[in-house]
Amino acid sequence: MNTMRPLRALLPVVVLLAACSNPNGQSNAQQIPDLAQPTRKVPSDPASMKASFSPVVKKASPAVVNVASRRVVRQRADPFWDFFMGGGAPREQVQGSLGSGAIVRADGVIITNHHNIQGIAEGNGEITVQLADRREFQAKVLLDDPRSDLAVLKIDTKGERLPVMAIDDQEQLEVGDLVLAMGNPFGVGQTVTNGIISALARTDVGAADFGSYIQTDASINPGNSGGPLVDMDGDLIGINTFIISRSGSSSGVGFAIPASVVKQVVNTALGGGHSVVRPWLGIKGQPVTSEIARSLGMNAPRGVLVAQVYPGSSADRGGLKEGDVILAIDGQAVNDEGGGAFAIGTHKVGDRVPVVVRRGDRDQTLTVRADAAPETPARDERVITGRNPFDGATVVNLSPAVAQDLSVDPFAGRGVLVTKIGQGAAMNVGLRPGDFVREVNGRQINTVSDLVSAAQAGAGRTWQVVIERNGQRIAARFNP
């Protein structure tokens, strides 16, 4: 199964450029000044005739690998089929995926996409890595980071030193720079395509919730997932991760995770970490529109208008206030909330980061300490059991850290969040991951302990439950 998936369907826009004629029927040719015609000439030397990306490919390709994963998925049996054929036990199905990766350390450390190996980190399946010389190795997962859609693998090389691709997070990328996309599209084998950087800092698209992507027109197709985007020095500047396409194949709009995020994830894995702790700014904001810019006396729409500041967050302690407009973080222009989260999130916890804000009619620079999202209250993650509508649901206390991990709104207030649904009453009554439990039998639920107590106290009664889903409160009544 190919894992490079289209983000969403887009309607193509065709722009027709029509020639304009003079309304009086007269030619405009004499009104246009003569323009110098481009000079065309035959290449004058063998070197110019043989200009090629080959040297870059020769340097980079030995470090490009294929990544294949297989896992067994237990599926619920089909009741209709079981009624006629007997049985009833869950069926097992083997699911596979095919992607790419790059060797980033000579002892067999490899970077790839999370979605290439999704589900394998829990030990349910196997990962096979094929090197450029076609040798195959079983790989283990050192770190899986769904937020960035990256994973770090390790193969046992028995002491052999493998070719490595350098991660270049210091390159000053510019739109128009030449790049190569490398990987294994459609499983045909290692392939190289070329193009340019089409855009930088794309934060309004993405398969993951933490990203500021490099956009490229180099052909990227299913199977390229996890493969490197390479500059003209043969260094890794990004990891190809998704495309926008109506057909599912390359339409020249592909996206790569920048090297700064790749390096952060790799360094965490090599440091023994099992999860990436990213700084959290702690604001809720909206892009400055033309209308907002006019109301604030700004000459152009730019920046993020701060609507809320989380108490005790990095932003709060750094002096940001509601009504401020964040213009830049660490010298990086910020134009939406995602861009701000990315700019602060790629720093190390404890870094002091300059933030330029517009307050009133002047700009000023604040210094914010990059701190992790607080885990207050404590998670207290539990699986609810017993004769109640929540039986089989895994719940957790909401905190900024939990909100960051699960991509929910940290400003939703105190509450108990449903994270998983297993076998039990919770599945039957229609609870879903992402639901907030707000009330049980008239009792407000603020913590997991509140929910456990209410579930125990309500045994044998009619249940009145209020949940919040996608910002909407839903009340329901259940009989025992």
Structure tokens at 108: 């067999």
Catalytic residue selected from 69, 115, 144, 235: 115
**In terms of Cα–Cα distance, which of 57, 54, 66 is closest to 102?**
66
Catalytic residue selected from 97, 225, 245, 399: 225
How far apart are the C-alpha atoms of 306 and 317, rounded to whole Å?
A: 15
**In terms of Cα–Cα distance, which of 401, 408, 413 is closest to 444?**
413
Active site residue 149: yes
How far apart are the C-alpha atoms of 289 and 302, rounded to whole Å?
A: 7
Assign residue 145 a region (left: φ > 0; alpha: ψ between -120 and 50; beta: otherwise): beta
Catalytic residue selected from 149, 336, 435, 450: 149
How far apart are the C-alpha atoms of 261 and 125, rounded to whole Å?
A: 27
Angle at 18 between CA 12 and CA 23, to 5 degrees: 150
Active site residue 260: no
121: three-class secondary structure by DSSP: coil
How far apart are the C-alpha atoms of 436 and 4, rounded to whole Å?
A: 32
Residue 321 CB partners (closer than 8 Å, separation 6+): 306, 309, 359
Give phi and psi for 83, each to the nearest 5. -60, -40
Residue 421's CB is within 10 A of a number of other CB atoms, namely 18
How far apart are the C-alpha atoms of 406 and 412, rounded to whole Å?
A: 13
Do 191 and 185 form a contact (C-beta atoms < 8 A)?
yes
Do 200 and 173 form a contact (C-beta atoms < 8 A)?
yes
Residue 462's CB is within 10 A of a number of other CB atoms, namely 10
Active site residue 115: yes
Question: Which positions are annotated as active-site residues?
Answer: 115, 149, 225
